[in-house]
A and B are shown apart, each in its own frame.
Chain A
Amino acid sequence: MTAAHSSKEAFWTEIQKQLSLLSAKAPGLKSKATVPKLYEIFVLSCVARALRSIGATLTAKDSNDAPTTTLRFRLAPGLIYSPTTAASFVEISRNKKKYELHGGLRIKGRSGVLHELDVCVIDRKAAVNCRAKEIAPSYTHVKLLVECKFLGKPTFPLDLGREFVGLGAEFSLRIKTIVSNTSNDEVHDLVTKHKGTENFLISAHPKAKVDLFVKWMANELRQVL
């Protein structure tokens, strides 16, 4: 056995040792469903930062529309009025108008079919009305939609780009964007051709890239809120 071979073997043994240690300390990773949700909340927090930067006032609200210090997000997408799965949201006040920032909310598209929006901003009046009447908000109430994809593999798959184009066709609005920690030039071409935008390579690092994304988002939100 060569020295290089044995050092390589030692390297992989160490990696496995570390994974064994960490898997016990990350119960959330046992389920694949947790991963996209964490990323969605991260992107939602970037939108919250953007809103704050354009002078909006934000208030955390629980599923009963009462102020809270606990923002509880659901693991699976749900309806705005669902009594068992309703999630917290962020109330937005800007220029005497109110909106709501939601994560994993199901909204009716132009076809009447319900779609999950990973992150969205909707009219507050419509949201309150939908909760009271137990109906889903429609695409006309949406001001912003963000599709979020956190992936382990380095290349953003083309089929997810196609899915996003389909989703975008159901919502005619200015800000519809796909955000991911990975990238793909072909998906960039596809999405921009269909009047969407992509924000690729957005993750906790590098911070400068996150700041740029927040700045871009703030400029867009200023146009529609």
Chain B
Amino acid sequence: MSPGEDNQIEFKLDENIEILLDSLRKLDLAWIGDEIQDAILEDWLGVRESIVVNPAFDWKEDQTVRKVRGRGQETVALSVLRNYFVELFDVWKEAQVQLSEAIGEKRLHVELAPPGVGQPLVVFQSDYEKASSELRRILERVLPEPGTEEPL
């Protein structure tokens, strides 16, 4: 989406990312916004460092300067969102299935509770899977396969 912007000298968040972080804060999910910001900064620092290590000037005109490209702000932000809103739900669902099968108890219920004798926590509401199908579809369409480095 913005392949050239990751080589900028001064760190600056894209406007869309700023808006996204603001939305997350309003949704009481500021911690996810913070992680996105950290991840983008780390991605940018990796590129920045490579620019410093490989200065642009050179005695040999024909020497190829290694191009290091970050994932890009939008790819990083969407990857973080995918991990928390899609992957984590799948992980939780799979945990329950695997435990039930390994223990051999079809009625097994797995829950998470705060310290003390508090009520178990509702992590995802029962209709979360259906509700998340659209975000899952969008992210599958735009994100590279995990492990690849190509920006959007």
Which of A's residues lie within 8 Å of B, judged by CB? Answer: 8-9, 11-12, 14-16, 18-23, 25-30, 32, 34-35, 37-39, 41-42, 44-46, 48-49, 51-52, 58-60, 69-76, 78, 84-85, 90, 150-155, 181, 201, 203-205, 210
Pairwise interchain contact A39-B91, C-beta atoms closer than 8 A: yes
Pairwise interchain contact A154-B116, C-beta atoms closer than 8 A: no
- Interface size on B, as a range, is 35 or more
Pairwise interchain contact A71-B110, C-beta atoms closer than 8 A: yes
Pairwise interchain contact A19-B128, C-beta atoms closer than 8 A: no
Which of A41, A58, A151 lies in contact with B104, CB distance below 8 A? A58
The 13 sampled A-B contact pairs (Cβ below 8 Å) are A19-B27, A19-B85, A19-B135, A35-B88, A38-B88, A38-B112, A38-B123, A71-B99, A71-B110, A72-B111, A85-B115, A152-B84, A153-B35
* Chain B, residue nearest A75 (CB): B114
Interface stretch (choices B15-23, B50-58, B60-68): B15-23
The A-contacting residues of B in range 4-35, CB under 8 angstroms, are: 16, 19-20, 23-24, 27-29, 31-32, 35
The A-contacting residues of B in range 80-126, CB under 8 angstroms, are: 80-81, 83-85, 87-99, 101-105, 107-117, 120-125
Q: What separation, in Å, do the CA atoms of A128 and B23 have in the docked complex?
A: 49
Pairwise interchain contact B27-A15, C-beta atoms closer than 8 A: no
Q: What separation, in Å, do the CA atoms of A155 and B46 have in the docked complex?
A: 11
* Chain B, residue nearest A84 (CB): B116
**Chain B residues with CB below 8 A from A45, complex form:** 94-99, 102
Q: A38-B123, A181-B91 are in contact. List 11 more A-B contacts (CB 8 A).
A: A15-B20, A18-B132, A28-B124, A29-B84, A45-B102, A72-B113, A73-B110, A74-B113, A75-B121, A76-B114, A90-B103
